[in-house]
Structure 1
């Protein structure tokens, strides 16, 4: 009996997944070790770590991260946390504003990292 050929999995999906992972890791690295990293490390609380973790999970489900999609994900996650009683609204707002203001740096660093990985 001849063997059946197995269909090849999409390498595009794998590449996109790797790109999203690189972008998420770059975003976290920029926030912790960028120009204002020392200040950011002091400000990080368990809330911001949880929020960033949820955002990274959402990134992994998206094929391509664009600025509107990035803002939509940040808003969606922040709405979830704003409904919780034990969340400091000022801290939540500060984390969201920080994430939104770093969009350009996150993408710039992600592209640089992606180019280095492809070389």
Structure 2
């Protein structure tokens, strides 16, 4: 491999890493904080819970774009708050079920990695 090819490969590697980091940090700070606070409340509000919950939202962000996270979280909150026929719009559509399943899968993988 000549010097030019090596430099080009190094630059491509750096750009790919930067793109992955940018995608992982596309979650707004408030969304990350909201997740960590809820997670900590469920896990004892300790320093260890803070570390594990922070790791968890980072792992989720690596796997799921923020728009998918936001759709699933909204649907889950609405399912919890809207009962009966009116709640069907947040339970029944296949897109809603897919968004929730994607979030649950990301959460399961984050749990394996961080807890």
* TM above 0.5: no
Q: TM-score by structure 2 length?
A: 0.37
Structure with more of its chain in helix, by fraction: 2
